[in-house]
Structure 1
Amino acid sequence: MSTRSPSPFSGHATMESNSKKSVAQRRVYGKRRANAPRAVFDGSPAREATSKKFVNVDPVKSIQTKLAEVTIDDMTPQEEVSEPPKCEDEEEESIEPTSQQSSLSSAVDSPDTEATESSVKSSSGKTKRTQTMMEVRIYNKSSKEPLEATAEATDTNSEPSTTSEATDALFEPTQSTTEPLSTAQDPTDEDQEKLNALEKRRAVRKKVPASRRSSGVVHDNKASEYVRPILNEALSPIAAQSIQKFGSWASRSANMFDVAKLAEGSYGEVYKLHLRDEAFRPVVSKSKLAKLKSYGDGVFKVVPLRAKSGPGSKKFTSIEEIVSEVKMLKYLDPVPGFARFREIHVVQGRFPESFQNAWDHYKKTKNDCMNPNPSNKRAYPDTQLWAVIEMDDAGCELEKFTWSSIFQIYDIFWGVAMALARAEEYAMFEHRDLHLGNVCIRSTREDGCMDPPTEHDVARQCSSSGFGISALETTIIDYSLSRADLLLSDDPSGLTEIASSDLDKKQLFDAIGEDEDEIMQRNTYRYMRATLYSGNPTETEKLPDIPGIWAEYSPRTNLVWLLFLLQSLLKNRKPEAQPQRKALAPCSPNTKTLKSTGDSLKAPKTKPLQGGISRLKNTLEDRLKSVLELLDLETGHEDMCCAADLVAYAMDSQWLGEEDFF
């Protein structure tokens, strides 16, 4: 398994000279689920799935074609019917369909319209006695002026906030006029009843407007333009349309999901949505319930955005940083061991009740709540913008998990190492912030139990390398400080965009820490910076900042963080619980011989099993100690340059099997 050489420094976007391959040509090592569930708040399909090549269609002609099919049959002799006259606004040239035309097309094809057409037809009649003429006018909701079906009426470059108003065009047929033919007679009672029913249906449709999911959109062109780079990364049309009101956005699932706050950091906070129990949720159809269950628990990273100007313009997360993180989330989604991306939303306003209650509960029950209260108007104004990144639930953070078994440590460490190796090959990736809070674990057992494996669990495993016995699956999260090469899929020339963050502006390298674990983590930041600046992690004397240097690729930083991870796992291991022996039961001297005979029959099965497990534990311990020597900052293996090198070494040494990685 070869590693790609570091790319030369070339600013934000570079052209790779060594390999001219597109995204589809990149190989993803390992196996994972093909598709992640869609976002719970947006039921619409992804934009990529709905992007089609539209055929130029004149909407006026389309309407005329359907109206020409409307006839009234009767028992009178059939007369010749002249072709309906063309609309005055009809143009000969075809134009691109826009949101206005799409809404009109859907209105024509709707069930209500079909019912209208069918009601006008007579199933019993065989001849026509009258000719029905209908005049169709398309009005703008605000001006009530007819819209011209020309290219001037379509603006494909308009902002979503403005096009949402344009889609309010009304499809209102005017009062029909009937020209009697030479053999005209008075309409029959049956025809009159049908016409009356038709008028009633029209009146009902006018009184009951159709519900619109875009009612929670914030109509602020300046704010939408400011966050447009984030909206462009959204997958669904609803999330990509514009900024949404925080309360309206959250209300879409308020009756079905419970909200709980999981964690917080300098970036913002993390919340989890869990489907409510049957007794506490409204009754829904079986199909919708199955869809919600398949969605699973979702995790939402809520990040306050930096204001464009005025208060809040010098704090919080910038637009560029969020865009960089979302691009990496989307790009690394196929790689096993990395978070599954669902959607990105931009919302505005104060926290809705469900999220605020979750924040208050976290404040009361946890001692690490440091962020200001979202209801505090001094901390967050009413117009505060938030980026909400929606992802799969990756499980429990490693820093909140208690591990004791060497099987757990072995699976956690090598799971993270192999994920980094895959990402290095796939995107020249560096995480640069791989502390215990950015590694999540979950159990692959059916019951979700995360306890250490029992002797019988170990005996049932057929792993030849010792990996996978604990049934723990690892996921790397939070790429806010990470670096990756993102091949542009729409550019066949191989243009590469570098997603990175300038860590010299983050004030990460001067802090010392309060306890041993925090001191070790702060030192790791300095080792990482020294690795990038000088190539030697032990030269921690801070050199002057070099603008743009954090865009360079230095994969040895992944090894620096893997060393920190392994040291933390071994240092903070809890004592492994010993199985409790059963108390001896009283017995008579007559059963002594029988008891001893039974014990002698069981001993050959138990002792070899315990001895084999004990030897396997010692073997795994020795392997991890060898890894500490390989990754030592001063005396480590000189050929270890990236996580892929370490994984390749482990496979050659049979510490890992090919089936573990590929």
Structure 2
Amino acid sequence: MPTFRCNSKPNKMSKPAVRKYGKSVKKSRAEQLFAELPRSPVKRNVTTSVYKVEEPEVETKTRESAVDDIAERLLSITLEEKHIEKEHISPSQDTLPPPAAKEAPATPRPATPSGPEPQNEADDDSPSDLRILTWDDVCPFGDRIEKIAEASYAEIYRITNDRGVSIIKVIRLASPIRPQTATQRRAGLVDEEPHSEDDLRGELSISEWLADIPGFVVYKERYIVRGKAPKVLLETHQAFHRRAKRKDPDRLQFYPSPSRYLDDTEFLVVELGDAGTALEDFDLQETAQLWDIFLHTAIALARAEDLVRFEHRDLHEGNLCIRRSKTSVAKTDDSPCQFGYSGLEITILDYGISRAEDPEPAAGEEAVPVAYDLEKDLSLFTSTHAAQCRVYREMRSFLLRGDRCHLPPEAHDTPRALDFQGQPISWETHHPYTNVLWLAYIYQYLVEHFRGDRKELSAFKKRTKELWAHLNPEAPRHILSFPSAVDVVRYAAEAGWITEEQVMDEASRMGDESIILDTRAEETAHLRRSPRRAAA
């Protein structure tokens, strides 16, 4: 069996308290919000059948040699040219996956068909226990509501009023809805299927665990919205689809028109902080923006890997938002630091198919992973409609083979196929390399959609050439790969692109008060009513 070089594990940090929706919590210290900046491991003369760690060099290293050294210590994930059969994928016999942050069980437990692992905490709110509102409560007269996106099984709206700005994620629950009209059927409308409480519990749990980590969305409140839709909701729904059709004439409408809502139609609505503009709609004009967006994303993922063993698994340009938190500053010195000049911050959205573990399990119990079972619908891996579909296949190919080999769509037609260790594939196990695959996708997107000075872009690509070589899942087999986002941050720090002080600095956090529920006047929140309803 071949040997591999690997980095030692990063230092662990104290874990933040789990945050509850809509309740004020004591803010964590910077040391709690951020994992310590990982250090270059001290090399020891230890050899096993799997890993090889080399002797340290005697001479003092320069910054350049330190960067070369960490590149040499990146985990090897090699391409193996194996024969791939459609009916059965033989596990690779001479490659192993990168080690997880913690030792994984010897025999991975197959993911349960029901999807995310349910949480049994007594104080966790389930949708059936939540406050019930109407659409007039959510957006009363005088407030503004605008549909801005469609995510995995949810519609996204922005609400603005005199108390601020919030994003609401609207998820249809199993409930009655008016059938499509003949015109809607001829138009080829496809209704997104309603979801059960169990389908949503995993994502909501992960959202709580990530809530205090900068770079992840601020959660404010959640509630049930029931009843018919007001005219303003129908108007913004129609305006959104007119804009979408102008951009993509072949685009289908996947969510029912609000005109079809009945008195008993129910939605789970999650209120979030306004994350800014989706990367797919952001105008990239300066290379300082490329540096900050990429490094902010890598740092956020590294923190989440360390704290809750997190994998996003769906981090495309629609799930990464950008907002300006301060004025941009020109770089005037000759230091290698490239981080923090654009004034931008990022927010990572949508944990519908993510994976994480409770950072504070019950005493005497091991943390139970929460992970959506992607084996329930293999169309995610066989689809070719968008660029990110390749990353879904790269993730599953890695779980199956333990290397960087990209299996084509037709190789993903067998649910729970055996992995390279002869076990049924399981999405509950922790493979932080999936975060590296998405960082590679974001890097490529930033470069390909840059609209600024081409000479500046060439300089950026030249400076990050080695970084990209170790991110690129299609790199030649002799090129080593980053095993996790933590290692990407370590590389950037040793290259001097970001300082330890910058990593440890607290990012700004937007307010976590609901602008839909009024909690100022009474200890128990009461609903704001529109002038029309109050006068009734």
TM-score of the pair, normalised by structure 2: 0.62
Match of 2:217 in 1: 339
Q: 1:96-495 residue pairs with structure 2 within 5 A? A: 233-234=124-125, 241-242=129-130, 244-247=132-135, 249-250=137-138, 254-275=140-161, 292=163, 296-306=164-174, 315-367=193-245, 370-377=253-260, 382-445=263-326, 457-459=329-331, 465-488=337-360, 491-495=362-366
Distance in structure 2 (CA, Å) of the matches to 1:568 and 1:384: 39
Cα deviations by residue, 1:367-426 (Å, 9 ceiling, x for unpaired): 26723443343xx55422211111100100000112122111111111111111110001
Q: CA deviation at 1:315?
A: 2.6
1:570 and 2:442 matched: no
Matched position secondary structure for 1:651:
helix
Matched position secondary structure for 1:442:
strand
TM-score of the pair, normalised by structure 1: 0.51
Distance in structure 1 (CA, Å) of the matches to 2:459 and 2:497: 10
Cα deviations by residue, 1:127-164 (Å, 9 ceiling, x for unpaired): xxxxxxxxxxxxxxxxxxxxxxxxxxxxxxxxxxxxxx
Match of 2:491 in 1: 649
Q: Is the 8 A contact 1:339 1:475 kept in 2?
A: yes
Q: Percent same amino acid at aligned positions?
A: 27
Distance in structure 2 (CA, Å) of the matches to 1:385 and 1:629: 48
Q: Is the 8 A contact 1:3 1:424 kept in 2?
A: no
Against the structure 1 CA distance between its residues 443 and 492, is the aligned structure 2 distance closer, same or farther, given a 3 Å change threshold?
Answer: same
Distance in structure 2 (CA, Å) of the matches to 1:462 and 1:340: 36
1:529 and 2:433 matched: no
Matched position secondary structure for 1:550:
coil
Find 1:621's aligned residue among 461, 469, 474.
Answer: 461
Against the structure 1 CA distance between its residues 621 and 247, is the aligned structure 2 distance closer, same or farther, given a 3 Å change threshold?
Answer: closer
Q: Is the 8 A contact 1:328 1:484 kept in 2?
A: yes
Q: 1:49-64 residue pairs with structure 2 within 5 A? A: none
Q: 1:474-623 residue pairs with structure 2 within 5 A? A: 474-488=346-360, 491-506=362-377, 507-513=379-385, 518=386, 520-540=387-407, 541-542=411-412, 544-546=414-416, 549-576=426-453, 620-623=460-463
Cα deviations by residue, 1:568-609 (Å, 9 ceiling, x for unpaired): 1111211439xxxxxxxxxxxxxxxxxxxxxxxxxxxxxxxx
**Structure 1 unaligned regions, length at least 5:** 6-18, 29-33, 40-44, 49-226, 277-291, 447-452, 578-613
| Superposed structure 1 runs of 4+ greater than 6 Å apart | 227-231, 311-314, 460-463
What amino acid is the match of 1:567?
A: Q
Against the structure 1 CA distance between its residues 396 and 632, is the aligned structure 2 distance closer, same or farther, given a 3 Å change threshold?
Answer: same
After superposition, the CA RMSD in angstroms is 3.9
What amino acid is the match of 2:483?
A: C
Matched position secondary structure for 2:338:
coil
Matched position secondary structure for 2:225:
strand
Against the structure 1 CA distance between its residues 245 and 632, is the aligned structure 2 distance closer, same or farther, given a 3 Å change threshold?
Answer: closer
Cα deviations by residue, 1:337-384 (Å, 9 ceiling, x for unpaired): 11111112122223234433322332344426723443343xx55422
Matched position secondary structure for 1:558:
helix
| Bigger share in helix | 1
Higher relative contact order (CA 8 A, sep 6+): 2
Distance in structure 2 (CA, Å) of the matches to 1:439 and 1:550: 23
Distance in structure 2 (CA, Å) of the matches to 1:393 and 1:479: 16
Distance in structure 1 (CA, Å) of the matches to 2:135 and 2:293: 39
What amino acid is the match of 1:485?
A: E
Give the number of equivalent residue pairs. 379
Match of 1:105 in 2: none
Q: Is the 8 A contact 2:277 2:323 kept in 1?
A: yes
What amino acid is the match of 1:359?
A: H
Matched position secondary structure for 1:509:
helix
Q: CA deviation at 1:502?
A: 1.1
Distance in structure 1 (CA, Å) of the matches to 2:333 and 2:415: 51
Q: CA deviation at 1:524?
A: 1.2
Matched position secondary structure for 2:430:
coil
Distance in structure 2 (CA, Å) of the matches to 1:317 and 1:325: 12
What amino acid is the match of 1:303?
A: I
